[in-house]
Amino acid sequence: MSVRTTLRASPTLLRVGFAGALAYRAEMIVWVLATTMPLVMLALWTAVANGGPVGRYGRPQFIAYFLATFVVRQLTGCWVFWEMTFEVRNGTLAMRLLRPIHPLWAYAFESVAVTPMRLVVCIPAALATLLIVGRTGVTHEPLLWFAWLVSIAGAWVLTLLVNFIVGSASFFVESSLKLMDLWLVFYFVLSGYLVPVDLFPASVRHVIDWLPFRFQIGLPVEIMTGAHGGRECLVLLARQWSWVLAALLATAATWRLGLKRFAAYGG
Amino acid sequence: MRYLRLLAIQVRASLLLGMQYRMDFLLDGLVEAFWMVTALVPLLVVFRMRNTIAGWSFGEALLVMGWFTFLEGVLEGAINPSLVTVVDHIRKGTLDFVLLKPADAQFLVSTARFQPWRGINVITAALIFAWGFHRIGRWPTLGAVGLAAAMTTAAISVLYSLWILTVSGAFYVVRVDNLTHLFSAIFDAGRWPISVFRGVARIIFTFVIPLALMTTYPAQALLGTLPLATRVATFAGAIVLFGAARAVWTASIARYTSAGG
């Protein structure tokens, strides 16, 4: 399971993952369409903004914010925990363990491979943002766009690791899927997915600053819509990647401990 | 009468099945209560900044939210599980066993499965109503409650009809469990008053997927502000849709050829 074998296997794994995404494209489109929440929230918030701007948000800013949310959600969405839990339960994980590549890497490649398909959906949404709100809705700073890429990568890795932790939790508890449900509740409420983080009262915002949820979705959206200057960006990115590191350690621990408990039933 | 007895048996079976996994039962209830937070937080944040949004005050918007919670409970607790079971039956070909039973197939498949912990939604909805009316400062008249109850019946009937139509689709295209997921996602829009939406979205949510009929109108009925024409149109629409769903179901089942070999 050396780094070299993993790297050598990566193009093939990516191709397989992409072929899988292509084969189930109808399903994929349904999943994309099911991401209606940002659009529903968009309707609500623009109705609010009709009575005058809220904080730094007027109608165009809300449109930019929630379309950006849609794009970021599409790019960082990951449901690997589902597959992991399923494979742990019915023992098919044993097949993956036999392969000369770490199962977590395999899962990671499978979920990256979906990205091109998702881009197909994201690009129209991004273009729509530009068309509707013009260039004022998104940041102009090239450096900030670079920061955006870093933040998207961070958000994606963080989400993937959370998936891994919940998936590994299925080694220990039967109801790990409910664990994800609980996480998702916090994620929806505190990440900026439903309500832009800076519209929360200051006291709540201080709490959000120290929690991981905002870094899964809110941060890339904020950078994209130009909410932060350069220095602020760096601070927030540093926090995001600290969470990534913490999640990485937690993943390694739960996976190792969990795997010892794994028992597959032979056929 | 016979169907009532059948219904009682089906409900009891689901209840027993649900109670078998007590821990799950509790956890599900807990998670469900938590999910309510995701609906309430945006509402609280929004009304911290404005007194009314699209013509609705905080208390009134809570009523819409209450109906949404209630109907979500009905959808996820009584309608959804049964229909997911049917889709499974159709795919595997085991629908034969249901069709062979000496009772109406649509009745049997619609009552096949209930998820009793969703009952918690009814309690949550009641709490939200109480809070809403407390904020409004007056309680609904008895007539308004009666009208709202009638509107709810229409709403449930519409919801059910839409689902039967979706499931009938399973006879033609096999993978409709995804569509059910899509429907749940769209249903989320029902948590806000219809006047929040504009243009195309509003037309869709009023006529195509009538979320307005399900959450906004019953709330208006409770407030006593629902126009007479809307009431009539709602009931007429519900009856027509129910008839159409029944017809489509009958036509689809005639096409069913089982999956056995």
**B140-174 pLDDT tens trace:** 888 888 888 888 888 888 888 888 888 787 777 65
Q: Is 50 exceeded by the pLDDT of residue A71?
A: yes
Q: Is 80 exceeded by the pLDDT of residue A256?
A: yes
d(CA B136, CA B140): 10
What are the pLDDT digits (tens) for B196-230?
887 777 888 878 778 888 888 888 888 877 788 88
What are the pLDDT digits (tens) for B78-109?
888 877 788 777 777 777 777 777 777 777 77
Which of B45, B179, B180 best tests the A interface by mutation, with the highest count of A CBs <10 A? B45
Q: Which chain A residues are Cβ-neighbours of B35 within 8 angstroms?
A: 181, 185
Q: Is 90 exceeded by the pLDDT of residue A248?
A: yes
Q: What is the mean pLDDT of chain A?
A: 84
Interface of chain A toward chain B, CB-CB under 8 angstroms: 26-27, 30-31, 33-37, 40-41, 43-45, 47-48, 50-51, 54, 175, 178, 181-182, 185, 188-189, 194-195, 199-201
The pLDDT assigned to B176 comes to 61
The pLDDT assigned to A244 comes to 93
Q: Is 70 exceeded by the pLDDT of residue A169?
A: yes
d(CA A239, CA A24): 36
Q: CA nearest A48 in B: which residue?
A: B53
d(CA A208, CA A187): 11
What are the pLDDT digits (tens) for B182-195?
777 888 888 888 88
Q: Which residue has the tokens 């005639």?
A: B254
Q: Which chain A residues are Cβ-neighbours of B50 within 8 angstroms?
A: 48, 51
Buried b (16+ CB within 10 A) or exposed e, B130-152: ebbbeebeeebeeebeebbeebb
The pLDDT assigned to A192 comes to 85
Q: CA nearest B201 in A: which residue?
A: A43
d(CA A91, CA A87): 6
Q: What is the largest CA-CA distance in chain A?
A: 66
Collapsed DSSP state (helix, strand, coil) of residue B231: helix
d(CA A38, CA A46): 12
Q: In degrees rounded to 5, what are phi and psi of residue B193? A: -60, 145
Q: Is 70 exceeded by the pLDDT of residue A89?
A: yes
Q: Is 70 exceeded by the pLDDT of residue A83?
A: yes
Q: Nearest CA of chain B to the CA of A138: how many Å?
A: 24
Those residues whose C-beta lies under 8 Å from the C-beta of residue A170, and which sit 6 or more positions away, are A81, A84, A85, A88, A89, A176, A177, A258
User: A261, exposed or middle or buried, with CB in 10 Å at 0-12, 13-18, 19+?
Assistant: exposed
Among A55-64, A218-227, B18-27, B199-208, which stretch is predicted with the lowest mean pLDDT? B18-27
The pLDDT assigned to B259 comes to 58
User: A229, exposed or middle or buried, with CB in 10 Å at 0-12, 13-18, 19+?
Assistant: exposed
Among A107-121, B72-86, B247-261, which stretch is predicted with the lowest mean pLDDT? B247-261
d(CA B143, CA B141): 5
Collapsed DSSP state (helix, strand, coil) of residue B53: strand
Helices A80-90 and A142-169: crossing angle in degrees, nearest 10, is 20
Let me know: does A107 contact A6? Beta carbons within 8 Å.
no
Tokens of B188: 């989320």
Q: Nearest CA of chain B to the CA of A98: how many Å?
A: 32
Radius of gyration of the CA atoms of chain B, in A: 19
A164-172 mean pLDDT: 89
- As beta bridge partners, residue A57 has A54
- As beta bridge partners, residue B87 has none
A54 and B185 within 8 Å at the Cβ level: the answer is: no
Q: Which chain B residues are Cβ-neighbours of A31 within 8 angstroms?
A: 178, 181
What are the pLDDT digits (tens) for B36-60?
777 788 888 888 887 888 788 888 8
Q: Nearest CA of chain A to the CA of B28: how many Å?
A: 8
Q: Which chain A residues are Cβ-neighbours of B182 within 8 angstroms?
A: 30, 33-34
Which of A65, A173, A185 best tests the B interface by mutation, with the highest count of B CBs <10 A? A185
What are the pLDDT digits (tens) for A209-234?
888 998 999 899 988 888 888 788 89
d(CA A68, CA B125): 33
The pLDDT assigned to B261 comes to 42
Let me know: does A254 contact A168? Beta carbons within 8 Å.
yes
pLDDT band at A76 (very low <50, low <70, confident <90, very high): confident
Name residue A106's amino acid.
Answer: A
Q: Nearest CA of chain A to the CA of B53: how many Å?
A: 6
The pLDDT assigned to B173 comes to 67
